Structure 1
Amino acid sequence: MNEPLFEDGLKTRREVLGSEYVDNSLKNAGEFDMPMQELVTQYCWGDIWNRPGLDRRTRSLLNLAMLTALNRPHELKVHVRGALTNGVTKEEITEVFLQAAVYCGVPAGVDSFRTAKEVFKDMGV
């Protein structure tokens, strides 16, 4: 493991997703799945999320669209929260899901709206 890249990723991951969520993910990881937590933290958050080519807000918008396309509601919930943290508005999230529905299928769009509404309710947004 690249310790400096992991630490950079951990910082970014906490800033976007919240310390509580990230710390729980790490705390609940065992011998079996800790390598995945390390990979995600170092590679996704340390390397990719910290690249200079796109800002965090844009990366969040892309993640919402891709997670809709892949129909990954658990990860979508996490990234809806992160998108709001990164300054994405509810109106922009609506537009991402409408666009994704056209290209990925209406059921994927409907599920994404449903998932986001749960997050909005939980966050009081």
Structure 2
Amino acid sequence: MTTRDEFTSELFMKGLKIREEVLGVDHVRKSLDSATDFSAPIQKFVTELCWGQIWSRPGLDRRTRSIINLSILSALNLPNEVRLHVRGALNNGLSQEEIMEILLQVAVYCGVPATLESTKVVVEVLEEVAAKAKQNAAP
């Protein structure tokens, strides 16, 4: 089993930095802090492989990777992952209009039901982000 002590490898730290920049420190820290003996190996794997090895590659920028992720996750109808990666896409500079275009593309090539589910999630996230921005702007 992976222990929390193994959350310090060079590859893990590289992935952690990218993961926090894209998904937000609060989300990532919550995921890692709530890792159990059972789930810690998955957190290590995801941080090292997805974020440390793949997201750090120079062949695609983060914006493009967000477009790909939203497309794939919507096509697979994985609303919890869509929710997470909408925030990442916004952090990586995608506009609401671009996210809508991604969903329309998914609808044509992967199906309307999955796109409708993703659209519900995107709307919720956009409302949450707007509410938080309004709250932060209030005196």
Deviation at 1:116, TM superposition (A): 0.3
CA distance in 2: counterparts of 1:90 and 1:39, whole angstroms = 31
Larger Rg: 2
Letter in structure 2 aligned against 1:109: T
Letter in structure 1 aligned against 2:82: L
Letter in structure 2 aligned against 1:6: F
Deviation at 1:36, TM superposition (A): 0.3
Write the mapping of 1:1-125 to structure 2, written as runs, cut at 5 A.
3-124=9-130
Segments of structure 2 that go 5 or more residues without pairing to the other structure are 1-5, 132-139
- TM-score, length basis structure 2: 0.87
Match of 2:134 in 1: none
CA displacement, residues 19-71 of structure 1 (integer Å, 9 cap, x when unaligned): 00000000111001010000000000000000000000000000000001111
Size of the aligned set, in residue pairs, is: 125
CA distance in 1: counterparts of 2:111 and 2:65, whole angstroms = 22
Runs of 4+ in 1 over 3 A off after TM superposition: none
- TM-score, length basis structure 1: 0.97
Give me the identity figure in percent: 54
Letter in structure 2 aligned against 1:55: D
CA RMSD of aligned residues (A): 1.2
Letter in structure 2 aligned against 1:83: A
Segments of structure 1 that go 5 or more residues without pairing to the other structure are none
CA distance in 2: counterparts of 1:22 and 1:114, whole angstroms = 23
CA distance in 2: counterparts of 1:15 and 1:29, whole angstroms = 20
Deviation at 1:77, TM superposition (A): 0.3
CA distance in 2: counterparts of 1:101 and 1:8, whole angstroms = 35
CA distance in 1: counterparts of 2:20 and 2:45, whole angstroms = 15
Letter in structure 2 aligned against 1:102: V
